[in-house]
């Protein structure tokens, strides 16, 4: 059965509309509590990012869980991977994250972690949806869930992050600009790097509930690029609003994306003889990554787009490192989910060990020109069954021959169809992407 509410990364929407209302989230908390707390462990953690709507959604989730007889512990603003970590270490049945990740402040979402700190499988999400179809029934008063606040959550997570690199590694002598996107890492990330010895210039670290991801962070690193040059820093670190995406900037202000970071981590592990298997990317990963890894005899596999699918393929193959161009980097031998701070530390460890700059560390990988066009859609259409769209794609693939590729996919979190064209000739790539996007837009209008 298809899931009605859950997308590729939990449930997400504009606050006050559709699924992001107090009534819906109250019922969601109740249903999740009933499904996830069946084995005599009725403890659930709740964390959030810095959106103003987090206060409201936290309250109704807490109420829904209590009505189901489930105890809650509130973590306050915490990075998504930090909530995953604390769910494991505090032995909770589940962790709940209130966040819309890289989206603007007026969106929000709810996603879940299992007791092992991993995202829920589809069948459990479907079970929660089915439970929501039942009338909400409150347990008796003596069985209602209680609520406590975890006062040292950020400190616990800071120590965990530091433990993911060798104890001999010091960041002394490195000057870093850290952009926290006015999000959940604002009180965590700068402290991690400072405590390891780095000089840190923190930007995007003054959340007001409305400025999360606004012209900052991993989705918009232009201010970070300028700050690295202005402060004569060695590199910059950009994190998204909930702390699971990482983009870096080298000493010249050049962006280093998730593909390049995977290359740096993968090649270093190969050199140390501790790379298990190969690297998992996605359908959106640049061909340049695949070819560069091949030059180092490193295997490469592509998962569907979405960090949950990268994780699934890592688990299937028994490999440990994977990620997306957008900056979701997963190191399964360090943690259970994408973690921007942990991923940044893996890269910094390489730079310290090899005494390389970030620019030098990515040497050996050249990205193919790639154009991504997001086409807004009012309602979903089946791309594969559209003869008009297929004809446009086939024509583009014929022109690219074996020098590039075309990928169309619906977004799992936004009302968009993403059109990606990649190849060796940048003007051709851009032109073909715009042509296909125009066809998709016209076809969607016909079916609106």
Helix (H) or strand (E) holding 306: none
Strands 246-249 and 255-256: antiparallel
Instruction: Judge whether 247 and 269 are in contact, CB under 8 Å.
Output: no
CA 10/CA 333 separation, integer angstroms:
24
Select which of 72, 93, 99, 101 is catalytic.
101
Give the separation between CA 119 and CA 280, rounded to whole angstroms.
Answer: 18
Indicate if 101 belongs to the active site: yes
Radius of gyration (Cα) for the chain, nearest Å?
22
Residues with Cβ < 8 Å from 56, sequence gap 6 or more? 15, 22
User: By the 8 A CB rule, do 37 and 30 touch?
Assistant: no
Distance CA 300, CA 14 (A): 37
Burial class (CB in 10 A: 0-12, 13-18, 19+), 446: exposed
Helical (H) or strand (E) element with 406: strand 404-410
Phi-psi region of 138 (alpha: psi -120 to 50; beta: other; left: phi over 0): beta
If 0-12 CB within 10 Å is exposed, 13-18 middle and 19+ buried, where does residue 378 land? exposed
CA distance between the termini of the chain: 25
**Which position has the token pair 């909400």?**
136
Buried residues in 236-269 as b, exposed as e (16+ CB within 10 A) = bbbbbbbbbbbbbbbbebebbbbbbbbbbbbbbb
Q: How far apart are CA 372 and CA 374, in angstroms?
A: 7
Sheet containing strand 255-256, edge to edge, reads: 199-203, 175-179, 235-239, 246-249, 255-256
Supply the residues annotated as catalytic: 101
């Amino acid at each position: 059965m298809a899931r009605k509410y859950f997308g590729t990364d939990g449930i997400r929407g504009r606050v006050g509309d559709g699924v992001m209302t107090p009534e819906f989230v109250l019922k969601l908390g109740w249903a999740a509590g009933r499904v996830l707390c069946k084995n005599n462990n009725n403890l659930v953690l709740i964390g959030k990012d810095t959106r103003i709507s987090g206060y409201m959604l936290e309250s109704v989730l807490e109420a829904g869980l209590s009505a189901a007889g489930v105890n809650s512990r509130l973590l306050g603003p915490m990075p998504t991977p930090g909530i995953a970590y604390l769910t494991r270490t505090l032995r909770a049945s589940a962790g709940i994250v209130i966040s819309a990740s890289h989206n603007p402040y007026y969106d929000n979402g709810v996603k879940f972690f299992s007791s092992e700190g991993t995202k829920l499988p589809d069948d459990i999400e479907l079970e929660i949806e089915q439970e929501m179809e039942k009338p909400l029934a409150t347990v008796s008063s003596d069985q209602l869930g209680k609520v406590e606040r975890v006062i040292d959550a950020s400190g616990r997570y800071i120590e965990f992050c530091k433990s993911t690199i060798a104890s001999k590694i010091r960041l002394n002598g490195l000057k870093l600009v850290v952009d926290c996107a006015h999000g959940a890492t604002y009180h965590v990330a700068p402290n991690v790097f400072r405590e390891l010895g780095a000089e840190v210039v923190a930007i995007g670290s003054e959340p007001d509930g409305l400025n999360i991801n606004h012209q900052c962070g991993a989705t918009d690193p232009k201010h970070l690029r300028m700050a690295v040059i202005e402060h004569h820093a060695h590199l910059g670190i950009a994190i998204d609003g909930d702390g699971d995406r990482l983009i870096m900037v080298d000493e010249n202000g050049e962006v280093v994306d998730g593909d390049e970071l995977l290359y740096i981590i993968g090649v270093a592990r190969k050199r140390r003889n501790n790379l298990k298997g190969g690297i998992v990317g996605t359908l959106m990963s640049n061909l340049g990554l695949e070819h560069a890894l091949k030059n180092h005899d490193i295997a490469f596999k592509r998962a569907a787009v979405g960090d949950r699918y990268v994780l699934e393929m890592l688990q299937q193959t028994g490999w440990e490192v994977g990620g997306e161009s957008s900056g979701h980097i997963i190191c399964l031998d360090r943690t259970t989910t994408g973690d921007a701070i942990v991923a940044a530390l893996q890269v910094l460890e390489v730079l310290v060990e090899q005494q390389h700059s970030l620019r030098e560390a990515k040497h050996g990988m050249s990205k193919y020109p790639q154009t991504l066009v997001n086409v807004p859609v009012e309602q979903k259409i089946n791309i594969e069954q559209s003869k008009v769209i297929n004809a446009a794609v086939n024509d583009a693939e014929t022109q690219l021959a074996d020098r590039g590729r075309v990928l169309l996919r619906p977004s799992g979190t936004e009302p968009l169809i993403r059109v990606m064209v990649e190849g060796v000739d940048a003007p051709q790539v851009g032109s073909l992407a715009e042509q296909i996007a125009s066809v998709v837009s016209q076809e969607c209008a016909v079916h609106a």
